[in-house]
Amino acid sequence: MIKEKAVSLELVEHYFHIHKYEQVIEIFKDGMGEYINNGVSWYILGYSNYSLENYELAEEQMKEALRLGINEEPVLHVLGMIYINTERWQESESALLEVLRINPESADAHASYAYLMKLVGQRKKASLLIKKALEMNPEDGRTLRLHYFIEELGNGKKEQINSVQKYMNSNDSELEKLQHLGHAAQNQNDPKKAMEHYGQAFALNPENKKLLATLEELEIDAHPLLVPNRLAGRLGWGVIWIIGVGLTILLFSLDFNMLGTIWLYTYIAFCIYTYLSVPIVKFLLKRKR
């Protein structure tokens, strides 16, 4: 029989490598104990909080890992991503450039820097950087995922299919692949397909609160009462506005007053419906749960 004892670093690393970040944080919730001066433990805890979007805590813990003398490259990389997610662009660039100075052959760092450039509007530079990252490591899952975002491959069906096919041969885990497939389905305004992929991902990691929140949002989006909303989403609300207002003006200008009035009321009813249907669906689903 296994006796209760202090948690080993090996168990912490096991949870960390299978992406059970909540368990990692739970283990250390009462303090670092004997690992208080262990830089790797601080890195693992910081990365776990980063993955769960607890950015302030993650930053503190990563800086403590640095202070304890851990290898700077991975820590600075995570700090760079934390700064991106908290919109501290200059600090992020400084951290990522330092990573590239330490390891100029890091495909992962090139991909992260490309992501930063995309976010700050330097699309050409972002495109060059992500292509370089792919040349360095064409099977890296994270690089392929960022390539999908940076090059906006979700906008074209053929491009998306090719991108997803390449990605499925990457070195990412099954969980990460299912999440990416869900994201790709969302880009194509297919909430049912997205729910299927995210549901499979959630089955692999039922403690993931972010996945649960995504599934709840998709349950709303996929509701049959929101078919008009999905149609408007596919066409684009700008197009809907042009059709609604433009056709109304055209009909009245051609003296088709009756048709113009009917169309105007129809358009107004459509707008009211799409505005009110979401809170109604949320209420219905809440009662159902």
SS (H, E, C) the chain: CCCCCCCCHHHHHHHHHCCCHHHHHHHCCCCCHHHCCCHHHHHHHHHHHHHCCCHHHHHHHHHHHHHCCCCHHHHHHHHHHHHHHCCCHHHHHHHHHHHHHHCCCCHHHHHHHHHHHHHCCCHHHHHHHHHHHHHHCCCCHHHHHHHHHHCCHHHCHHHHHHHHHHHHCCCCCHHHHHHHHHHHHHHCCCHHHHHHHHHHHHHHCCCCHHHHHHHHHHHHHCCHHHHHHHHHHHHCHHHHHHHHHHHHHHHHHCCCHHHHHHHHHHHHHHHHHHHHHHHHHHHHHHHHC
- Per-residue confidence (pLDDT) for residue 1, from 0 to 100: 37
Domain enclosing residue 230, as ranges: 223-289
pLDDT tens figures, 143-178? 988 988 888 765 555 666 677 777 787 878 888 888
Between CA 15 and CA 17 the distance in angstroms is 6
- Neighbouring residues of 53: CB distance < 8 A, sequence distance ≥ 6: 85, 210
Residue 139: inside a domain, yes or no? no
In a domain, 39, yes or no: no
Q: What tens digit of pLDDT does each residue of 224-245 get? A: 888 888 888 878 888 899 999 9
Q: Is residue 161 part of a domain?
A: no
- pLDDT confidence band for 261 (50 / 70 / 90): very high
Q: Average of pLDDT values for 123-132?
A: 94
Q: How many domains does the chain have?
A: 1
Per-residue model confidence (pLDDT) at position 2: 40
pTM over 0.95: no
Residue 34 has a pLDDT of 82
Structure confidence at residue 5 (pLDDT): 44
Residue 279 lies in a domain: yes
pLDDT tens-digit readout, 55-74: 999 999 999 999 999 999 99
**For the packed helices 227-235 and 237-253, what is the interaxial angle rounded to 10 degrees?**
90
Kindly state whether residue 252 falls inside one of the protein's structural domains. yes
- The answer to whether the CB of 82 falls within 8 A of the CB of 59 is yes
In a domain, 160, yes or no: no
Q: Does 237 reside within a domain?
A: yes
254 within domain boundaries: yes
Q: Which residue has the tokens 């992020």?
A: 92
In this predicted structure, what is the pLDDT of residue 174? 86
Q: Could you report the per-residue pLDDT of 175-214, keeping only the tens digit for each?
A: 888 888 888 888 777 888 888 888 998 888 887 888 888 8
